[in-house]
Amino acid sequence: MASLAVIFGFVCWAKPNESSLLKGKAIFEKQCAECHGSKGQGVAGEYEKPLTGDWPLEKLIRVVEKTMPELEPNLCRGEEARLVSKYVFETFWQKPEQFSQSREITLARLTNRQFRQSVADLFAQSPGARMPVGVDREKQGLRAAYYDVKKMNKRHQKKKDRIDPVVDFDFGSGVPLEGMNKEGFSVLWQGSILPPETGWYEFFVHSYNGFSFWINADGKKASIDETVVGGKEREKSIRLFLLGGRPYPIMLDFFKFKDPIAKIRLSWKPPHGNKEIIPKEFLFQQSVPPSLIIQQKLPPDDSSYGFPRGTMIEQAWDEAITFAALEAGRFANERIDRLAQTNNEDDKRREKVENFFLEFVKYAFREPLTEKQKEFFVLSRFEESKSLSQSVEEIVLLTLKSPRFLYPEWQALAKKDKDPYVVATRLSLYLWDSLPGRTFHQLMEKGNFLKKSQMEGQSKRMLEDDRAQAKFQDFLLHWLEIDQNDPPQKDKELFPKFDDQVISDLRRSLITYLDSVVWENRGTLEDLLRAREIPLSKKMAGYYGVKNLRDSNASAFPLYPAEDLGRKGLFTHPYLLANYSYVDQTSPIHRGVFVSRKILGRSLRPPQEAISFKSSDFDPKWTMRQKVTALTKPANCMACHDLINSTGFLLEGYDATGRVRTEDAGRTLDTKVAYFDREGNELSMSGPADLLKHSLASESSEMFFIEELFKYVAKQDPSCYKNMVNKNLLKDMRTNKLTDLYLQLCLEAATDGFAYVR
């Protein structure tokens, strides 16, 4: 009854001369507004999101015709569906800005990554601490000194200095070098380690003999002390959190005395990786000082916006930060004399410690201190009744818990004028997730950081720092959605040779590739997506059937032409294909969602009702394509699955481990699809090469990447920045080298004056 009235009402109301838009509007108000709002803004408790999207008109009509109004799709068909869709399309469908809530920059606390980086750099500013500089990457391997030993581990005579690429030795009952003392010898390995990713690392030392092992630690106390035990085969391990892109000191002191045999092996288990001998590409000869890397577990940042940001203030965080500050206080206390360049016999010890902290607090707060602040945060903390160590820990605790440290952009929000300290703060955050250091402050104190050219010069220097590289790499892993997941395990019976080593090599291949295209070759987004060459290890070559891998001493992952491996575009890297597959078969849906969103920049809505794919529901003789087609056939599924399936089917030529295949379920593969682009043009595609071609020609693909990068860098939406909106800057940047793109985004956002849209 009610539904008839609706249609009837409309028919009576319509006059032949009304414009079609008005007609559409009327239909919308009668049939759609209840759930979508009178202006398409959404209705709480019904459909809450604004009605916007990137579907072309024809598709919108199709979807409305088949699925709307929900539960009664018969109410709006044919001409009505066309009219209402046209109205929606013209009035707001492609104008999401109409619905954007106030686009304002929001105050945020440091993210976990920013917190750890900032604390590490804060303690590295004093001249006594020595800032860890970038390591010389040409000099791989560890410095090894071989000695003959007299009595226990007393070094008697040095026999040789040499470079050992890795530590993996079984000397048996013999000696490392000819002419050495069989009874007792020792080896000292020293250098630095550059972890590839941020996260928890476990280090293992396996030996039959005596050893001590230091990782990111001072000489005094070993991380693992096994000098006492000997004559017993054993493995000891230590687990610690490390930030990627920073070198850490590493040292292994090994000795044999009277034991029948001698062996020593140094391995690790990196985050998302498997246990392995530490490969030579992560070991370097250079010495570096230890860094304070906070080990306290921090509750995860809110990543519900698609990137981690510090907008969630919870009790667990407050407590974790407090414990982290105490950890930092102990660190400071243990080495205060070195940090302040004094000693306990120095008459000016207290004065020097005070001066150290006046600088320390200045760096922490990212601006010069007022006299009042000096008194409050530092000078008043030294009282007769307190021991020096109490004062030290109290200052560190109060400083690291202060909102001035924890909310780095608060000054930007409080100040109205341009200020070099605000620009410096932002540049450090955006490029490094850290804070301006000593040299930066000196620059500003001398007034050498005011002009645009000075700012540009400084950001270029910052770009070449390892920390900038590490942050960009983290972004790329985040963009590819492989920053959180564990590596893809597959069914051991179906893919017996797809073992742990292949899997960790795949991840390393991808990371090495990203590194080389961005930093070594200074490529563009197009270069990145094209992936003309793929780093290939021997193990990967074996699995993917490559016979002519050239043997290279320089790298365990020599570059191999992607074409010869059957690859067309970054998204056909086997790690990604395997990652977006089930354990026993491909998943066109996962692959399609990934490619549509991340590579093509298309927007997808989450499904109304999650339906899971169960292979066993279908005839086993069917191909995956047939199964997925049948599963997603209902009209409300097809609203998004036409896009998802078409892009996913294009990659069906690769199995669940990313190997090239030509058959599925005993049938020749069919990868031909009809793909509808944003404008509604139907494109006929038949494989990854077409997909690559389209993604390179598509503006949405580039814009999506740039916006994702911006959000990751600044932890804010680009529309909060006037420059980004007004100058259409993002658009102009897309053909740049990726490093330039990164630099420009950071610089523009940092110097966007205080012209936030507020």
Partner 1 sequence: MASLTSAENQMNLDFHSLNRRNALKGLGLSALSLPLVSQVPHLQAKGDSSSRKPKQRVIFMFSPNGTIPKHFWPEKDGEDFELKSITRPLEPFRDRLLFLKRLHNKVRGDGDNHMRGMSCLLTGIELFPGNIQGGSDTPAGWPKGISIDHEISNFLQAKEETRTRFGVLHFGVGVLDKADPWTRMSYAGPNQPVAPLGDPYEAYRKLYGNVMEKKQINSILDDLKTDLSQVADKLSPNDRKLLVEHSLLVDRMDKEFSRSDDLKNLAGKPPHLKEGVENLNDNLPTLSRMQIDLLVNSFVNDFTRVATLQFTKSVGQAKMSWLDINERHHTLSHEPDKNKDAYEKLIRINTWFAEELAYLLKKLESTPEPGQTGSMLDHTLVVWTNELGKGNSHTLNDIPFLLAGGGFGFKMGRSLSCQNNPHNRLLLSLAHAVGHPLKTFGNPKLSAGGPLDLG
Site for partner 1, rule CB under 8 A: 42, 45, 48-49, 104, 106-109, 239, 297, 299-306, 311-316, 318-319, 322-323, 326, 329, 376, 393-394, 397-398, 401-404, 407, 410, 413-414, 481, 484, 583, 593, 597-598, 604-607, 609-610, 612, 614, 616-617, 708, 717
Closest distance of CB 345 from partner 1, Å = 28
Peptide bond into 249 cis (omega under 30): no
In total, the chain counts a number of residues equal to 758
Please, are residues 710 and 724 in contact by the beta-carbon 8 Å criterion? yes
CA dihedral 281→284→285→286, nearest 10 degrees, is 160
Closest distance of CB 455 from partner 1, Å = 25
Which has the closest alpha carbon to 654: 666, 664, 642? 664
Closest distance of CB 559 from partner 1, Å = 30
Nearer to partner 1, 48 or 72 (CB): 48
Distance between CA atoms of residues 201 and 283, nearest Å:
15
End-to-end CA distance of the chain: 50
Closest distance of CB 402 from partner 1, Å = 5
Q: What is the DSSP string of 386-449?
A: S-HHHHHHHHHHHHHHSHHHH-TTHHHHH--S--HHHHHHHHHHHHHSS---HHHHHHHHTT-S
Please, are residues 671 and 653 in contact by the beta-carbon 8 Å criterion? yes
Nearer to partner 1, 25 or 602 (CB): 602
Nearer to partner 1, 138 or 493 (CB): 493
Closest distance of CB 758 from partner 1, Å = 9
Closest distance of CB 401 from partner 1, Å = 6
Kind plus residue range of the DSSP H or E element containing 332:
helix 315-334
Nearer to partner 1, 27 or 412 (CB): 412
The residue written with tokens 């020293």 in the block is 190
Report which residue type is found at 675. Answer: Y
Please, are residues 106 and 710 in contact by the beta-carbon 8 Å criterion? no
Nearer to partner 1, 322 or 626 (CB): 322
User: 355: exposed, middle or buried (C-beta count within 10 Å: 0-12, 13-18, 19+)?
Assistant: middle
Q: Is 191 helix (H, G, I), strand (E, B) or coil?
A: strand
Nearer to partner 1, 67 or 716 (CB): 716
Handedness of CA 627, 628, 629, 630 (dihedral sign): positive
Nearer to partner 1, 58 or 499 (CB): 499
Closest distance of CB 561 from partner 1, Å = 31
Nearer to partner 1, 49 or 160 (CB): 49
Nearer to partner 1, 79 or 375 (CB): 375
User: 287: exposed, middle or buried (C-beta count within 10 Å: 0-12, 13-18, 19+)?
Assistant: middle
Closest distance of CB 304 from partner 1, Å = 3
Nearer to partner 1, 163 or 238 (CB): 238
Closest distance of CB 313 from partner 1, Å = 4
Q: What is Dmax (Cα atoms) for the chain? A: 108
Closest distance of CB 299 from partner 1, Å = 5
Which has the closest alpha carbon to 575: 480, 691, 472? 480
Kind plus residue range of the DSSP H or E element containing 35:
helix 33-36
The two structure tokens encoding residue 483? 């920053």
What's the chain's Rg over C-alpha atoms?
Answer: 31
Please, are residues 399 and 377 in contact by the beta-carbon 8 Å criterion? yes
Closest distance of CB 682 from partner 1, Å = 26
Closest distance of CB 322 from partner 1, Å = 6
Nearer to partner 1, 402 or 636 (CB): 402
Closest distance of CB 713 from partner 1, Å = 16
Kind plus residue range of the DSSP H or E element containing 643:
helix 635-649
Helix axes 2-13, 20-27, angle to 10 degrees: 160
Nearer to partner 1, 150 or 404 (CB): 404
Residues in CB range of 671: below 8 A, 6 or more apart: 649, 650, 651, 652, 653, 686, 687
The residue written with tokens 């849209």 in the block is 757
Please, are residues 344 and 337 in contact by the beta-carbon 8 Å criterion? yes
Nearer to partner 1, 144 or 298 (CB): 298
Which has the closest alpha carbon to 270: 239, 245, 300? 239
Nearer to partner 1, 313 or 630 (CB): 313
Q: Please report, for residues 186, 321, 399, 477, 492, the alpha-carbon distance to residue 108 in angstroms, rounded to integers and kept in the order given.
A: 52, 15, 18, 23, 45
Closest distance of CB 610 from partner 1, Å = 3
Closest distance of CB 68 from partner 1, Å = 18
Nearer to partner 1, 408 or 687 (CB): 408
The residue written with tokens 């009668």 in the block is 30
Closest distance of CB 406 from partner 1, Å = 8
Nearer to partner 1, 381 or 694 (CB): 381
